[in-house]
Amino acid sequence: MACYVPFNDRNLDISLFTLRPTVVFVDELVEALKQISSYTESLGCVHSSIFRSIHGNLIIWYGAWMKRSSENKQLLSAALLSMLTNNHVSTMAMLVEHSFFNAYTGESRDGSPAAKFFTGDIVSLSSASSLSAGNDSSANWASYESMAMFKELFGKKMNGASSGVCLKSQAHPRIVCLFVWKSLQQCYSYILDSDYRKQLAILPNLEGFAQLDVKYDVFKVVYVSGDDVLNNIDR
Closest to 200 in 3D by CA, of 219, 181, 179: 179
pLDDT by residue, tens only, the chain of 235 residues: 899 999 998 989 999 999 999 998 899 999 999 999 999 999 999 999 999 999 889 999 999 999 988 889 999 999 999 888 877 898 999 999 999 999 989 999 999 999 999 999 999 998 877 766 444 444 455 556 667 777 878 887 888 999 999 998 888 878 888 999 999 999 998 888 766 555 554 444 444 444 667 788 999 999 999 876 445 434 3
Helical segments of 61-181, H only:
70-86, 144-157
pTM metric for this prediction: 0.87
18, with CB counted inside 10 A (0-12, 13-18, 19+), is buried
In the three-class reduction of DSSP (H, G, I as helix; E, B as strand; rest coil), residue 40 is classed as helix
Domain 3-234, CATH among 3.10.129.10, 3.50.50.60, 3.30.70.100, 3.40.640.10:
3.30.70.100
